[in-house]
Amino acid sequence: MLSTHWDESLAERYRAHRYDFPEKALAGRTVVVAGGTGGLGSALVALLAKEGARLIVGYRANGERAEKLAGAMKSQLHTDLKLLPGDILDPAVRESYIDAVRQSGQLLAGAAIFPGDPARVPFESLTREAISTSFDSNYTGPMLLARDLGAMMESSESGGNLVLLATMQGVAPFPSSLAYAAPKAALVHAARVLAQQWNKVCVNVVAPGATVAGMAELSVKSGKYHRYIETGVITRFGRPEDVARAVRFFLEPGQYANGQVLIVDGGLTFRRGRT
Ligand SMILES: NC(=O)c1ccc[n+]([C@@H]2O[C@H](COP(=O)([O-])OP(=O)(O)OC[C@H]3O[C@@H](n4cnc5c(N)ncnc54)[C@H](OP(=O)(O)O)[C@@H]3O)[C@@H](O)[C@H]2O)c1
């Protein structure tokens, strides 16, 4: 018996080696990049601007950095960004993202949620407040925005893609990273829960390693990670373009991965046993 889900015309195309690889599939489509003015998010903004996406870019408070990015995108790629300030923990700020999508006059095709905080609190001086602050920044805010934007995409006919940012420390144990790692691990779990409960929204996670831009810039510069290069575990540090490409992969309309974590760390977590 033939499956009722079998598409013979599709099978015929593949027998004839005719494949469908759309180019610039996000051109003209609305995408949210929360935390898109940061060291990693701004590379995704540039990649999507190059493609011609309509970009809603969120940041918390650093208006100067946001305006500088908007100016660069305008002069380099002739793209206007819709900038949205405010803390995503605030329901009114999350509502402003929804409003901005509605004002774009289009359905939301995808969203990438970058906000986070390195929560550099030494293990010995960890307090309940410090843990709670890290959970707010690295789990609660991103998860609530994911819920709101994901629900918006789920209610549309075409659905969409949601990408959350974790860290290699959230998927593998590294000593002394308790305050930062645990909320990121919780975020990975939340992504999987959301991937189960929605039907039209794919939810995936990118977990970067030691990257030379953004919040890790200072620690990479300080030499904290250079032993991984000297012992051959990695060949170089990560770059914002590495992360942007991975996030873009999950934003491809109609892509087929769901509930997955892509670790973009040059193999550091996998190969670090070699040291
Ligand atoms: N850089 C790395 O090597 C690295 C490695 C592993 C994982 N990650 C993860 O990747 C993500 C991006 O990191 P990054 O290095 O690009 O960080 P970043 O340079 O510090 O940028 C963070 C971005 O998020 C915004 N933001 C922070 N908290 C917010 C909040 N509560 N509400 C709204 N916006 C908020 C910031 O706005 P303002 O500038 O206005 O505050 C900025 O746009 C983070 O989740 C981080 O944990 C980064």
pLDDT, tens digit (0-9, with 9 covering 90-100), for 191-235: 999 999 999 999 999 999 999 999 999 999 999 999 999 999 999
Question: How many beta carbons lie within 10 A of that of residue 36, not counting itself?
Answer: 29
pLDDT band, very low/low/confident/very high, at 165 (cuts 50, 70, 90)? very high
pLDDT at residue 107 tops 60: yes
> Residue 272 carries which DSSP code?
G
pLDDT at residue 104 tops 90: yes
Nearest CA to ligand 1 atom 27: 115
Q: Render the burial of 46-76: b for 16+ CB within 10 Å, e for the rest.
A: bbbbebebbbbbbbbeeeeebeebbebbeee
Question: How many beta carbons lie within 10 A of that of residue 264, not counting itself?
Answer: 21
pLDDT at residue 274 tops 80: no
Dihedral sign, CA of 252, 257, 261, 266? negative
pLDDT tens track for 6-45: 999 999 999 999 999 999 999 999 999 999 999 999 999 9
Q: What is the pLDDT at residue 49? A: 98
What value does the mean pLDDT take over residues 165-187?
95
Tokens of 94: 């999350």
197: three-class secondary structure by DSSP = helix
- Give the strands of the sheet with 108-113, arranged side by side: 82-84, 54-58, 30-34, 108-113, 160-165, 201-208, 261-264
Q: Cβ distance 200 to 158 under 8 Å? A: yes
The CA-CA-CA angle for residues 195, 201, 202, to 5°, reads 55
> What's the CA-to-centroid distance between 121 and ligand 1, angstroms?
17
Tokens of 67: 């305006």
Which segments within 44-150 are labelled E, that is strand?
A: 54-58, 82-84, 108-113
Nearest C-alpha neighbor of 262 from the set 213, 204, 185, 212: 204
pLDDT at residue 275 tops 70: no
Rounded to two decimals, the pTM is 0.98
What value does the mean pLDDT take over residues 68-94?
98
Dihedral sign, CA of 67, 72, 75, 81? negative
pLDDT at residue 263 tops 80: yes
Nearest CA to ligand 1 atom 26: 115
Angle between helices 41-51 and 240-251 (to 10 degrees): 60
Q: What is the pLDDT at residue 171? A: 97
Q: Which residues line ligand 1 (CB under 6 A)?
A: 35, 37-41, 58-62, 65, 87-89, 114-116, 137, 141, 165, 167, 208, 210-211, 214-216
Q: Cβ distance 206 to 43 under 8 Å? A: no
> What's the CA-to-centroid distance between 114 and ligand 1, angstroms?
5
